[in-house]
Amino acid sequence: MKKFLFLSLALFPFMQSGTAQSLEKMQWFNEPEQWEIKDGVLSMFVTPQSDYWRISHYGFTVDDAPFYFTTYGGEFEVKVKVSGDYKTRFDQAGLMLRIDHENYIKAGIEFVDGKFNISTVVTHKTSDWSVITLDKAVPYIWIKAVRRLDAVELFYSFDDKEYVMMRNAWLQDNTPVHVGLMAASPDGDGFRATFEHFKVRHLPDKRRLEWLSKNSAE
C-alpha cells in the first residue's frame, strides 16, 4: 500500500503537466482547405460562407463551418486565445462544445457591422444569439468555458488573468462532448483565424464530490 502511494505521488507532477491538449491528436469536422499547426498554434483560412445555426429568426439550418475538436466526458474547463483578421459581417472565431447537430454552444468574438462583439450562440433544436459589444477593436481575446453538471459557464478575458462571465447555458450532463476550435464566415469570403494556448483541464465530478463529503468515514 505504501509503495502504491509513493508511485502515485511520484506520478502526480507528470499528470498535472499533462493537462494541455495536443492539437495534433484532434480531428476535423468540416476541414478547411488551408490550415496548419506550428509550435502549438492552429491557424486556418476559414471556409467562405460557412456557419453553425439552426432555424430560429432566419428560417434555415447550416452546419458546415470548420471545427477542430477532441472529445471529453464528465466535467472540465477549456480555454483558448483567439485572434483573426475579421473583415465581413458575422466573421467569427472561438470555442465550441457540441453534442450533436441539434445541441451545441459556440462562444467567441464576432465582427458585426464594423464592431467587435463577444458572441454566444446556444442551440437546442433551435439557436439563440447573445452579444456584448466592445467599444474598440482588440487584437485577441481569451475565451473560457467551464462545464459543471448540466451547465456551462462562459467567460472572456483580454489578458488570461481577469475573466468576465458572459453567459450560463444548459448542456446535457453525463454525455460526451466534442470540445474544440470553431470559426465561421457566413457572409464573407473567409479570413485567417489563429488559436493559441488551447487547454482542457479535467474537473472532478461535482455530484461525486458532494456524495463523498456526505458519506466520508469519520
pTM, two decimal places: 0.89
Strand partners, 156: 143, 164
In angstroms, the Cα distances linking 17 to 73, 171, 204 are 20, 28, 17
C-alpha closest to that of 176 among 124, 99, 105: 99
- Report the Cα 191 to chain-centroid distance in Å: 19
Question: What is residue 20's predicted lDDT score, i.e. its pLDDT?
Answer: 58
Q: Which residue has the cell 463523498?
A: 212
pLDDT, tens digit (0-9, with 9 covering 90-100), for 56-66:
999 999 999 99
Mean pLDDT of 125-133: 97
Q: Residues 21, 206, 143, CA angle at the centre, nearest 5°?
A: 40
Check pLDDT > 80 for residue 15. Answer: no
Q: Does residue 18 surpass a pLDDT of 60?
A: no
Please name each of the domains of the chain with its CATH number: 30-204 (2.60.120.200)
